[in-house]
Amino acid sequence: MAKETKTNAMRILDRNKVKYEVNLYECDEFIDGIHIADKLKQPYASTFKTLVTIGKSKNYYVFVIPIDKELDLKKAAVIVDEKNLEMIHVKDINSITGYIRGGCTPIGMKKQYKTVLHKTVLDFETVIISGGRLGTQIIIAPKDLVEVTKSEVADIVVE
């Protein structure tokens, strides 16, 4: 089998000597994180998706939440000190992050945007995030994810 090409996220983790695992899976078409978790029999609570927003200030913000949750834009705006936030358009994901829909990870975007992880990330020994391309996941300790993304942890989902 051919050696797996590392994504930018993996190279950053390697450079920072962060321990992680890679999970590869077949992905012909990305639907959503729940579809992938069901396919791979992974728990929703410890599988996280990466969402990118833009504030009234025109700054971008990254939020990482469990795949079965919805980002509370009001709570998120308060955390990042913005008047309001809106999701970026799918067509803009690559130009803003360097990643594609379904392969967007908070590690190694084109720029280091302010990143906030949902507070439940700390409830787990390891969490699953996108690995930087379709069909690739990174399994990582939450404390390492917080450190490498320079993120804060807060309550940012709709209850």
Q: Residue 44 is encoded by which pair of tokens?
A: 């929703």
pLDDT value of position 34: 87
In a domain, 12, yes or no: no
Which residue stretches of 88-127 are H helix?
A: 93-97
108-129 pLDDT, tens digit per residue, is 999 999 999 999 999 999 999 9
> What does the pLDDT read at residue 26?
86
Partners of residue 61 on adjacent β-strands:
53, 114
Does the residue 17 lie in any domain? Answer: no
**Number of domains composing the chain:** 1
Q: Is the pLDDT of residue 1 over 50?
A: no
- Domain of 41 in residue numbering reads as 23-118+131-154
What pTM value is reported for the model?
Answer: 0.94
Task: Report pLDDT digits (tens) over 58-67.
Answer: 999 999 999 9
6 inside domain: no
DSSP classification of residue 16: T
Average per-residue pLDDT for the chain:
93
Q: What is the pLDDT of residue 4?
A: 63
CATH code, 144:
3.90.960.10
pLDDT in tens, 11-60: 999 999 999 999 988 877 667 888 889 989 999 999 999 999 999 999 99
User: Is it the case that residue 102 has pLDDT exceeding 70?
Assistant: yes
| Domain-located, residue 11 | no
Pairing of strands 152-154, 114-118: parallel
- Per DSSP, the chain holds a count of helices (H) and strands (E) of 5, 8
Q: What is the DSSP string of 12-31?
A: HHHHTT--EEEEE---SS--
